[in-house]
Amino acid sequence: MKVKAADRTASVQEYYFSQKLAQIDMMRRQGSDVINLGIGSPDQPPSENTVSALIAEAKKPASHGYQSYTGITVLRKAFADWYDKYFHVNLNPESEILVLMGSKEGIMHISMAFVNPGDEVLVPDPGYPTYSSVTNLVGGIIRKYKLSEEQGWLPDLKTIEQSDLSKVKLMWVNYPNMPTGVKGSRDLFEKLVAFSRKFGILLVNDNPYSFILNNEYNSLLAIDGAKETALELNSLSKSHNMAGWRIGMVAGHSDYIKTILKVKSNMDSGIFLAMQMAATEALNNKESWYTSVNDIYIRRRKIVEEIMELLKCRFDKSQVGLFVWGRIPEEIVNCESFVEEILYKSHVFITPGFIFGEQGQRYIRISLCATEKRLIEAKERLLRLQILNT
């Protein structure tokens, strides 16, 4: 007999994109040239100085051993300087920053550190699916709070306050928002901090998109009193084109950081020193580097907007981040069938919004992480499909 899986595995499914990438790989092996406009995996490289730092450090014989669980001092200092420069947040690199193997991993660390079985967790809908799956894995109870286009994709705190919050331990927020592209604001963060302090809820902002098509750098930790009740995750994946490197951080009060470290130190043995040194270099990129990356995204976004218009989807041009989020036409009955038809007839993969929650049922998301040439080709394929369907 096979050994039975742990009960917790019944509470989650294989990640949607894991399944979809396997499907796309199979189609490609069968000869289909699939254009993947689904995942936000930056296709541009990190800065040259970042890669050079990696190579130089990797050549040193002493660079290949286990590393500190908290991250090397110079990297924590670089994160602190980065936050001071762009977010105007003062962080103590010795006690208020913990280096992570990516912010996705940090979601698990934080949940394991603070959520007991039976604790309730406020999760945005639509929102990053990992907030829900990790809550399930640690035995927490998911409490969805609705984000809607009518409310500007912002939490309705008055409505949330009218419910029983006595068992709520943690609340996930994500601004700039994925998948909707809403920036968020200092006013929003002030209201969120006041809410979390009032009800004794740990507030966590997942903040990897601040530098993509955006120059209004907001941090939850910039709000007075936020460190007493909040944490913030950040990552080099999107902002520095280093998704595969798996380097991020969590910042907040030293007591919270110590608690997270109890979990993290039992789950990994530190990040390769050469990658940490390269990440330090990346955080010192000149502002002109961010501008050069965004100049490319600006050109790509124009084409993606044309694709959205071709599909007769309605979208907000003020969105930021790596995607364009659009509402499908009312005559389309089922979003999943819509994107599957596009995939199989045009060999273009677009993300259906339902994977982000019930509130995403009538939406699609298109990534900017493809070259202008491939985006133009995708547009031409969709135009041919549209002609065939008329």
For residue range 321-340, list pLDDT tens digits in order.
999 999 999 999 999 999 99
Each residue's pLDDT tens digit, 232-264: 999 999 999 999 999 999 999 999 999 999 999
Cα separation, 96 vs 127, in Å, equals: 27
The whole-angstrom separation of Cα 45 and Cα 2 is 44
Say whether 128 sits in a helix, a strand or coil.
coil
On the 0-12 / 13-18 / 19+ scale of CB atoms within 10 A, 36 is buried
- In this prediction, residue 21 carries a pLDDT of 85
Give the domains, in start order, of the chain with CATH numbers.
7-45+287-389 (3.90.1150.10), 48-282 (3.40.640.10)
Q: Consecutive 10-residue runs of the chain (390 residues): their mean pLDDT?
A: 87 84 91 93 97 98 95 98 98 98 95 98 97 97 98 97 97 98 96 98 97 96 97 97 97 98 95 98 97 98 97 96 97 93 94 96 97 97 77
Q: What are phi and psi of 72, to 5 degrees?
A: -65, 155
String of DSSP letters for 264-312: HTTT-----HHHHHHHHHHTT--HHHHHHHHHHHHHHHHHHHHHHHHTT
> Is residue 4 packed enough to be buried (19+ CB in 10 Å), middle (13-18) or exposed (0-12)?
exposed
Mapped onto helix, strand or coil, the DSSP state of residue 97 is strand
389's enclosing H/E stretch is helix 372-389
Contact 193, 161 (CB under 8 A): no
Predicted pLDDT at 1: 58
Angle at the Cα of 209 from the Cα atoms of 75 and 245, rounded to 5 degrees? 45
